Structure 1
Amino acid sequence: MQIHHLLEKRSIANTFVAQLRDLEIQKDRMRFRKNIERLGEILAYEMSQHLMYEKKDVVTPLGTASLELPKEDVVICSILRAGLPLHTGLLNFFDAAENSFISAYRHHPNNDENFEILVEYLASPSLEGKTLLLADPMLATGRSFVNVMKALETMGTPREIHLVAIIGAREGIEYVKESFPENSHLWIATIDEKLNDRGYIVPGLGDAGDLCFGTKMQH
């Protein structure tokens, strides 16, 4: 897996990540969602440079222009519910993409640190031969990405897989590297060093789904 780490280079993306982490700024849910969306747009732009292109002629009022345009069939799959603003950012740039949605959440059966990732809902077009963008803001243990990919196997085999995340832990990144094909890509804004004993990223930013949409009842 090839890893593309956005914050290895200085850019305006640093500002959006800082605001996502900031305990006071993140209380504004609309701003929190918008910052995830904006980072999704930046990651989409960076990713676009690695796709396949073909020359096409475009007729203008004064003549014809020859341009290289993307030729891949893209499917954006977001992991509900935190993936929705990231999905919007990607879709703003890949506006002709097909769309897929899947649920994945942590279930603590014994109300302790141990949990399993449950996948309960899936709506997706065929993925056969297409370019799959799998979006989830937080890459903690990596198990959500892996379990979701297993659930998507019935939809066909993508030509290429791109994972898209905002913040990841090194442990989770190593796990997805071992679990996804070598020719897959991870596009991530920033990488944190560790997970705590409950599997959350430190320093991270908290629960992205709750910060986007409000707290949820556990079941």
Structure 2
Amino acid sequence: MYIEVLLRKMKIHHLARQRSILNKFLKEIRDKNIQKDSMRFRRNIERIGEILGYELSKNLQYESKQVLTPLGVKPVEMLAENIVLCSILRAGLPLHNGLLNYFDDAENAFISAYRHHPDNEVDFEIVVEYFAAPPIDNKTLLLIDPMLATGKSLVAVYEGIKKYGTPKEIHIVSVIGSLDGIDYIKNHFPVNTSLWIADIDNNLNQKGYILPGLGDAGDLAFGEKM
């Protein structure tokens, strides 16, 4: 079982608090030597997404249906929610694939968000420029971002998405987050929001990167950007 912590409005599911094979994948994506293999890095993020998706699935709504086998009929509890997976480009793509492996009937959405440094290397603003999605009204939205650092990207993305509809509930899915980032988002998301996160680190550096973290997930997965 995962560990649940209720912090103000948001329920936090911190999976690394419990010993499991998840910690092997976390160790490898953090290891500065192993993470040089970008294909292995992407696959480990994908596997973490599968584990997060499996645990998340236990908290969704189900309905009983019957399946006809060659020898009879068997009742099966089947997922009874309309799910939309929404990833923040580009770093969210491997995590998105892991969730899609399990929620293979889900609809898919993609949104861009990046840090813009107008004056110097420390201060930045979040720019959201692109959103492609199906209707999200009254659906279960899984908002996917591997690194929850300051939390500003997630909040900016949520503010952008709100213009297109109101989900029934929101599940934020991340690989590694900071305490500051979690504290920030829990004051900006609605009460029907849960966070599913593999591991949590204590600190951010001056540039807003998680310490000890793992570096830039997008660069590690797809190569350095200009």
* TM class, shorter-length: over 0.9
Q: Which residue of 2 aligns with 1:84?
A: 93
Establish whether residue 66 from structure 1 lines up as the match of residue 80 from structure 2: no
Q: Which residue of 2 aligns with 1:139?
A: 148
Matched residues in 1 for 2:100 and 2:178: separation? 25
Q: Which residue of 1 aligns with 2:117?
A: 108
Q: Which amino acid aligns with 2:52?
A: L
Establish whether residue 207 from structure 1 lines up as the match of residue 216 from structure 2: yes
Map 1:1-219 onto structure 2 (within 5 A): 1-217=10-226
Matched residues in 2 for 1:130 and 1:89: separation? 20
How far the C-alpha of 1:112 sits from its partner, in A, is: 2.3
Unaligned segments of structure 2, at least 5 residues: 1-9
Q: Which amino acid aligns with 1:77?
A: C
How far the C-alpha of 1:190 sits from its partner, in A, is: 0.2
Moved runs in structure 1, 4+ residues, more than 6 A?
A: none
How far the C-alpha of 1:148 sits from its partner, in A, is: 0.4
Unaligned segments of structure 1, at least 5 residues: none
> Is 1:82–1:208's contact at 8 Å kept on the other side of the alignment?
yes
TM-score w.r.t. length of structure 2: 0.95
Q: Which amino acid aligns with 1:124?
A: A
Matched residues in 2 for 1:213 and 1:112: separation? 22
Matched residues in 2 for 1:104 and 1:112: separation? 17
Q: Which amino acid aligns with 1:60?
A: T
Number of positions where the alignment pairs a residue of Structure 1 with one of Structure 2 = 217
Matched residues in 2 for 1:214 and 1:37: separation? 17
How far the C-alpha of 1:120 sits from its partner, in A, is: 0.8
Which moved further from structure 2: 34-43 or 108-117? 108-117
Matched residues in 2 for 1:111 and 1:19: separation? 33
SS in 2 for 1:117: strand
SS in 1 for 2:129: coil
Identity, % of aligned positions: 63
